[in-house]
Amino acid sequence: MKRLILATLILMVIVSTFAEVSYSILNEFQAITRDIGDEYKYYFSDKLQLQIFYNNLSVGAKYNFYKPKYNRFLSAEQTGSEKDENYFDEYFMQFESDHFFLKAGTYDAVIGSGMVMHNYYDNDFEDDSRLTGGYAQAYFDKIQAQIFYGFMPSAADEEENDAIAAIDADYNLRENLKIGGGYIMQKQFEDNQRDIVTGRINYYNDLFDLNAEYAQSSDEEYADGTGIYSNATAYFDKFTLLSAYKKYKNFDTKITDLPMANHSGQQLEHGWDPGRDEEGFMGEVRFLPNHENEFVVNYAEGWNSNFKVRQSDLYCEYKHDFENLSLKTEFSALEQINTESGNNWYQELTPAMSFDFMMKDIPVMIKTEYQYKEEDNGAENISHFEPRVQTDVSIGNYSASITVENQMGESGEGDDGEFWIGGELAASIFGNTDVRVFIGKEKGGLVCRNGVCKYQAEFEGLRLDVVISY
């Protein structure tokens, strides 16, 4: 299949010189200089993606080159084992018409909310569960169906592949009522087979929306599993009410993307596998009394079947828009307890305040937070504060972000008095090129700057990212 798709791609490149064929090219370049203590480590990568379009047909491929391949999750002490790599990361051929979509090669796949199946490349954690195979979709007025078969790297051994086959369909009973169901088969390379049967319902009207999903799995080697997820949104004048419910039992594999049903998106407990055994709910009240004010309160709780593993998650927000200033105050509180495997307790308290305003014609954002973390594993109790200040400034096609973070107290994440100071300059130039340059030191976690949010690992050094599109 790979050779056929690449041969077709080359043929269409040749034909494009004589026929009405369009194309798109995306080139992602990255250069990194990482400070690992007593020396610097250098990395280079280039990812070139080409897609050609002719009528309803398109063909594409992406080639990655690394010298060597950078693993941002390796600590400074673990560097040195990286290797030079180059390979075709994806290749595909697809056809699309009014009622059909066909694709062969590398593709993403999702069923429902993703609870039973969501195969994709996770850029935040560099986890690849995309499928390589064939995919077909049909969509008409009342029915939509999809079927696919493919292979993905196994969670047990990435040098081996698991086979995935699935069929899924939705039917519109009425304009605002839809039911759906599907079947997924995961054949692991050790010959263990996992089967999942799922059903769902979606309903909406002027007052509320409702989505509910149920799935049951059977496994030749492990215990059978169950997955339930539902969410609802109700609208009452100036109030919006949201709710969500989850229940998972032995229901997590590499193909699933389980909704966490809490504002922070955290798993039940740091040492507890998502989907192993958990239940929980989330509720949110959003109040907009007028155009200038907004209030949000979100609360969630989660627990396992014997209540020895528990979680509470609170988030509050108030936003007020002045004539030339937007003020937002936030407070979040996360608590996790695990007495099932040990005697662990963890807490995060994070008050924050941000200001968005114009300095003449220049947009400026200033955000401050003062996070407190405490944990107790039965043998010791440690706690620390993490004050943090961030400033973003934009001038035309250029923007800059500077962050200063400090730790006050000891922890496994850093030393008392340690500072993380880093800055990023972003620019859009030539109409088709985006450039980002980061220099300094960052602690990691979810980082939002210059309009982009992404999970980053701990880093110190220089990082250059260039994306060119044609």
Q: What is the domain-level CATH number for residue 286?
A: 2.40.160
Give 18's pLDDT tier (boundaries 50, 70, 90).
Answer: low
Mean pLDDT of 341-368: 94
Cα separation, 403 vs 416, whole angstroms? 18
- Select the more confidently predicted residue: 148 or 271: 148
Which among 25, 31, 63 is positioned nearest to 45, based on CA atoms? 31
Report the domain count for the chain. 1
pLDDT of residue 180: 97
Nearest Cα residue to 179 out of 212, 133, 228, 218: 212
Q: Is residue 175 part of a domain?
A: no
pLDDT in tens, 158-186: 788 999 999 999 999 999 999 999 999 99
If you average pLDDT over every residue of the chain, what do you get? Answer: 91
Which pLDDT band, with edges at 50, 70 and 90, does 10 fall under? low
**Contact predicate 258/214, CB 8 Å:** no
Give helix then strand counts, H and E, for the chain: 1, 30
pLDDT attached to residue 345: 95
Question: Taking a C-beta distance cutoff of 8 angstroms, is the pair 217, 194 a contact?
Answer: yes
User: pLDDT at position 268, please?
Assistant: 94
pLDDT band at 155; cut points 50, 70, 90 = confident
Rounded Cα distance, 100 and 114, in Å: 22
Query: Has residue 198 been placed in a domain?
Result: no
Name the percent of the chain lying above pLDDT 70.
95
**Taking the model in full, what pTM does it have?**
0.90
- Give mean pLDDT, residues 374-397: 93
Q: Looking at per-residue confidence, does 16 or 362 come out higher?
A: 362
Q: Which residue type occupies 230?
A: S
User: Is 429 domain-assigned?
Assistant: yes
What is the per-residue pLDDT for 3?
64
What is the share, in percent, of the chain residues with pLDDT greater than 90?
73
For the ranges 15-29, 232-246, 397-411, the one whose mean pLDDT is highest: 232-246
- 8 Å CB contact between 233 and 259: no
- Residue 17 has what pLDDT? 55
**Average pLDDT of the segment spanning 374-392:** 92
* CB contact at 8 A, 367 and 346: no
Range of the domain at 56: 2-92+203-469
Q: Is residue 315 part of a domain?
A: yes
Residue 86 lies in a domain: yes
Give per-residue pLDDT as tens, 262-301: 999 999 998 899 999 999 999 999 999 999 999 999 999 9
Over 60: is that where the pLDDT of 9 sits? no
- Rg over alpha carbons for the chain, rounded to the nearest Å, is 25
Cβ neighbors of 200 (< 8 A, separation 6 or more) are 112, 113, 179, 180, 181, 211, 212, 213, 214
Q: Is residue 354 included in any domain, yes or no?
A: yes
Look at residue 123 in the predicted model and tell me its pLDDT.
86
| Token duo for residue 259 | 């909704």
Read out DSSP for 224-280? -EEEEEEEEEEEETTEEEEEEEEEEES---TT------STT---SSTTS-TTSEEEE
User: At 382, which helix (H) or strand (E)?
Assistant: strand 381-395
| Domain assignment of residue 146, yes or no | no
Write out pLDDT tens, residues 109-126: 999 999 999 999 988 888
DSSP string, 266-326: --SSTTS-TTSEEEEEEEEEEE-SSSSEEEEEEEEEEE-TTSSEEEEEEEEEEEEE-SSEE
Distance CA 24, CA 59 (A): 11
Whole-number pLDDT of residue 4 = 58
Residue 5 pLDDT:
58
Q: Are 300 and 263 in contact (CB under 8 A)?
A: yes
What is the average per-residue pLDDT within 294-315?
97
Q: What was the pLDDT predicted at 125?
A: 82
Tokens linked to 71 = 């693993």
